[in-house]
């Protein structure tokens, strides 16, 4: 029954995304089919400063590492990309942001298009980010996790990623690096398919994650009633629910219906409409820039 349901969901998602390359830079509306967004009051858009995503001379830089870990749920050795902040000190404890990619990407997608190391380096230089490492995993939890062939057919593997993330990757990271192991020091965010995963897994596992971000979240996003079955519990335990989506992105519906639900039930929630942009890294880099400044503080 579960496999049948996942197959149906995969087919439905493929219909939405037939003309898109989800998780890769795109302009326009994204080509995901016209679903009118829910009428909500957006939170104020504040333009990011010029050069926030450009390498700045004369500042300390973090480092990028590729790690391999054994996945119990997938049954293979898998890869993740890790950003360590400038002057990473094993004698200190760091928080962890798990940053997820889209359906067309992998553990390298953020590095290829989103300049996360540059954005974080600049934030640290300006004293605007708490001490954290950034883990960029492969959210396609299957034996062949490469973004090849019909990537839409890998949708069920994205739905299963929480088992790998929580059961294998998080324990591995906490064993390898000097990081905290409590929910107050873990955040999850992602773009497109990874945005939907972040909302699903972050709100679905508030015992694991206290901070949740969704950037242009995709149709894999669960309905608000599934994401927030207990309003009072979410109010008490979630420390940040933050979203952004381009004004020209046909996926605004997924974020706006959650925002409307949260506003109706008094759940703190931010949704920013990025003006004039579609489904692309302009929006996603802006998302990381803002989200990273708000977590672990």
Asked whether residue 26 is assigned to any structural domain, the reply reads: no
Judge whether 214 and 195 are in contact, CB under 8 Å. yes
Checking DSSP bridges between strand 132-137 and strand 186-191, what pairing results, if any? unpaired
pLDDT interval class at 67 (50, 70, 90): very high
As a whole number, mean pLDDT of residues 203-213 equals 98
Neighbouring residues of 219: CB distance < 8 A, sequence distance ≥ 6: 12, 13, 16, 17, 32, 196, 251, 254
Asked whether residue 63 is assigned to any structural domain, the reply reads: yes
> CA 288: distance to chain centroid?
9
86-145 residue pLDDT tens? 999 999 999 999 999 999 999 999 999 999 999 999 999 999 999 999 999 999 999 999
Asked whether residue 65 is assigned to any structural domain, the reply reads: yes
As a whole number, mean pLDDT of residues 9-20 equals 40
Asked whether residue 251 is assigned to any structural domain, the reply reads: yes
Judge whether 108 and 100 are in contact, CB under 8 Å. no
Q: How far apart are the first and last CA of the chain?
A: 43
212-256 residue pLDDT tens? 999 999 999 999 999 999 999 999 999 999 999 999 999 999 999
19-56 residue pLDDT tens? 333 333 333 334 345 589 999 999 999 999 999 999 99
What's residue 34's pLDDT? Answer: 56
pLDDT interval class at 157 (50, 70, 90): very high
Asked whether residue 36 is assigned to any structural domain, the reply reads: yes
Asked whether residue 25 is assigned to any structural domain, the reply reads: no
Asked whether residue 171 is assigned to any structural domain, the reply reads: yes
Whole domain around residue 120: which residue ranges?
2-20+31-294
This prediction has a pTM of 0.91
Asked whether residue 287 is assigned to any structural domain, the reply reads: yes
As a whole number, mean pLDDT of residues 67-79 equals 98
Can you give the CATH number for the domain in which 83 is found? 3.40.50.1820
What's residue 35's pLDDT? Answer: 84
Number of structural domains found in the chain? 1
Mean of pLDDT over the chain:
91
């Amino acid at each position: 029954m579960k496999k049948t349901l996942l197959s149906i969901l995969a087919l439905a998602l493929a219909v939405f995304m037939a003309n898109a390359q989800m998780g890769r830079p795109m302009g326009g509306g994204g080509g995901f089919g016209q679903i009118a967004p829910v009428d909500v009051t957006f939170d104020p858009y504040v333009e990011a400063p010029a050069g926030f995503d450009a390498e700045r001379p004369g500042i300390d830089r973090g480092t990028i590492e590729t790690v391999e870990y054994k996945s119990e749920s997938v049954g293979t050795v898998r890869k993740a990309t890790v950003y360590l902040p400038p002057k990473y000190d094993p004698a200190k404890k760091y928080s962890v942001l798990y940053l997820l990619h889209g359906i067309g990407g992998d553990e390298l997608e953020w590095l290829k298009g989103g300049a996360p190391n540059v954005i974080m380096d600049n934030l640290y230089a300006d004293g605007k980010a708490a001490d954290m490492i950034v883990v960029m995993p492969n959210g396609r939890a299957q034996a062949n996790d490469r973004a090849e062939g019909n990537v839409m057919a890998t949708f069920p593997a994205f739905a299963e990623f929480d088992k790998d993330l929580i059961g294998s990757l998080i324990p591995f990271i906490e064993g390898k690096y000097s990081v905290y192991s409590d929910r107050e020091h873990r955040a999850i965010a992602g773009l497109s398919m990874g945005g939907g995963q972040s909302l699903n897994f972050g709100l679905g596992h508030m015992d694991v994650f206290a901070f949740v971000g969704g950037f242009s979240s995709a149709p894999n996003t669960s309905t608000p009633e599934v994401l927030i079955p207990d309003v009072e519990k979410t109010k008490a335990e979630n420390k940040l629910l933050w979203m952004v989506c381009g004004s020209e992105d046909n996926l605004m519906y997924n974020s706006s219906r959650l925002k409307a639900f949260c506003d109706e039930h008094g759940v703190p929630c931010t949704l920013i409409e990025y003006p004039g942009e579609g489904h692309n890294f302009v929006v996603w880099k802006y998302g990381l820039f803002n989200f990273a400044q708000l977590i672990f503080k």
